Chain A
Amino acid sequence: MLEIKNLTGSIINNDYAILENLSLTIPNGEVHVIMGPNGTGKSTLAKLIMGHYMYEVNSGDILLDGESILHLSVDERAKKGIFLCMQDPTVIEGVSNSEFLRTARSSITSEKVNLYSFIKDMESGMKEVGLDSNMLHRSLNQGFSGGEKKKNEILQMKVLKPKMIILDELDSGLDVDSLKIVCDNINQYMMDNKDASLLIITHYPRILEYIKPDYVHILKDGHIQKTGDIQLAFDIEKSGYSGINDIAGDESHE
């Protein structure tokens, strides 16, 4: 379970708080969505949870399974089971996809990974997400299209088996067919791992046609202004964020 308690956060060495007093609880097995206008702090929340070096928590706490993670380094948070599917995955020249994934898996499991079984697993995983198997031997994300990068993120999720998954604008850069493939893989993962939780950050409800959420939250002015079910996302699509006060929903979700 992920608990965010009265979180205030900003860009490091900057007094302006992007998130203010934000609280959110995501129990095991639930799918939550955060929507909101540009610049309202959605990606900042994802980066604060992961421990990005450009952001800092000014007050409040983030707990995973009852334990604060604020003192943990980025890799320690990943080992605890947090996975951030990045909005724009980083290109790393010279480090092959296979080398990266193998190192990541052995870091997470603390076990030496057998090369033969790893390659076999990867080949089937890549087929499931619709990636050509020769991409395993290419430099990480180098020369990948936007869609291939996102599919590669989901491949990493499947390999590392996290329990708290954050999808930061997964749907950007994905065509309709690719979005469906990626969402099918996420749904299968959630079915196979009943305790895993999902936090989807998105601008549009399109992704929610494939992944059904338990709750939808509207983030505005640095905190959650409204919480509802999937209907809230479709209402926002129709009336926009400026009409949020006229849409039905709870005022907060804690």
Chain B
Amino acid sequence: MNKVLYVFDQNDEKEYHYNITEDTIIYHYSLNSDCKVDVHLVTEGVTFYYYYNNINYDDHTFSIDVHHRKGNTHSEVVNHGVNVGEAKLTYYVNGMVPKECSKCICNQDNQIINMKDGKSTIWPNLWIDNYDVDSNHSALIGKFSEEKLFYMMSRGISRENASRLLLNGFLINSDSIDLNQIDWFMKEIEKI
């Protein structure tokens, strides 16, 4: 990737606008914040990865719009949230490919883990106006899988430590992350 950006929100309300002109990865770490992201892929052939990792305690909304403005553009949006308490957490995730943009790839993967009885909602939307687009979306809301916890516990790991390993894996979900950049976020994971 040509460009790697780290973005942080803590107890905040923010809007971000990006015009993507070269291959880019954005790692976005968000603690208990409202956030609106607007992305435009404006150069032919660019690839764009967006990893949103979010810890939530109160009622909050995250939305991201990815506009494919040129042909052969590729977007991969991965949103992972942990709703710690019983608050509302809402994700609006929109991928848009107009008719004039050919051979685009537009994917999104959304997951929220409810640690308790939080009211989480995901709206995964794909607005595709072209027949040659490769596009997928997924949305999952729930708790950590009992089968995963069983497997880890069957190797002697306590339920608490197994959950912690899963939390870390869920919120720090790319091998290429510079961990020094997200030291504060890792400390926030430990507080969950």
Q: In the complex, which residue of chain B has the Cβ closest to the Cβ of A91? A: B148
Q: How far is B23's CA from A44's CA once the two chains are assembled, in angstroms?
A: 50
Q: Are A75 and B172 in contact (CB under 8 A)?
A: no
- Check if A78 sits within 8 Å of B170, measured CB to CB: no
Is the pair B154, A74 in contact by a Cβ cutoff of 8 Å? yes
Check if A95 sits within 8 Å of B156, measured CB to CB: no
Instruction: List B contacts of A99 (CB < 8 A).
Output: 165
- The verdict on A95 contacting B159 (CB below 8 Å), with A78-B153, A90-B148, A100-B152 known, is no
Contacts of A94 in B (CB 8 A): 166, 168-170, 172-173
Interface flag for B150 (CB, 8 Å): yes
B165 touching A78, Cβ below 8 Å: no
- Asked if A90 meets B169 with Cβ closer than 8 Å, knowing A73-B159, A104-B156, A107-B157, the reply is no
The answer to whether A78 and B154 touch across the interface, beta carbons within 8 angstroms, is: yes
Closest Cβ neighbor of A104 among chain B residues: B155
A contact residues around B162 at 8 Å (CB): 75
**CB proximity of B80 to chain A, nearest CB, Å:** 9
Q: A53-B146, A94-B173, A95-B166 are in contact. Are A156 and B152 (CB under 8 A)?
A: no
Report yes or no: A92 in contact with B155, Cβ–Cβ below 8 A: no
User: Are A79's CB and B166's CB within 8 A?
Assistant: no
Q: Which residues of B contact A92 (CB under 8 A)?
A: 148, 151-152, 166, 169
Given contacts A86-B151, A90-B148, A92-B151, contact A75 B168 (CB under 8 A): no
A to B contact number (C-beta, < 8 Å)? 72
Q: Residues of A contacting B178 with CB < 8 Å? A: none
Asked whether A103 is an interface residue with its Cβ less than 8 Å from the other chain, the reply is yes
Dominant secondary structure at the B interface: helix
Contact count band on B: 20 to 34
What are the residues of chain B within 8 A of A93 when measuring CB–CB?
169, 173
Contact between B161 and A107, CB atoms less than 8 A apart: yes
Q: Tell me if A50 is interfacial: C-beta within 8 Å of chain B.
A: yes
* In the complex, B147 has a CB within 8 A of chain A: yes
- What residue of chain B has the Cβ atom nearest to residue A109's Cβ? B156
A11 adjacent to chain B (CB < 8 Å): no
**A75 touching B165 by the CB < 8 A rule?**
no
Which A45-96 residues have C-beta < 8 A from chain B?
50, 52-53, 73-75, 77-79, 83-84, 86, 89-90, 92-95
Q: How far is the CA of A52 from the CA of B157 in the complex (A)?
A: 14
Nearest to A80 among chain B residues (CB) is B156
- Nearest B residue to A93 by beta-carbon distance? B169
List 7 A-B pairs, minimum CB-CB distance, nearest first.
A94-B169, A74-B153, A104-B155, A78-B156, A90-B151, A108-B156, A107-B156
A-B contact list, 5 entries, CB within 8 Å: A75-B156, A90-B147, A90-B148, A94-B173, A107-B156
B interface residues (Cβ-Cβ under 8 A, vs A): 146-148, 150-159, 161-162, 165-166, 168-170, 172-173, 175
Binding site for B on A (CB under 8 A): 50, 52-53, 73-75, 77-79, 83-84, 86, 89-90, 92-95, 99-100, 103-104, 107-108, 137, 139, 156, 160
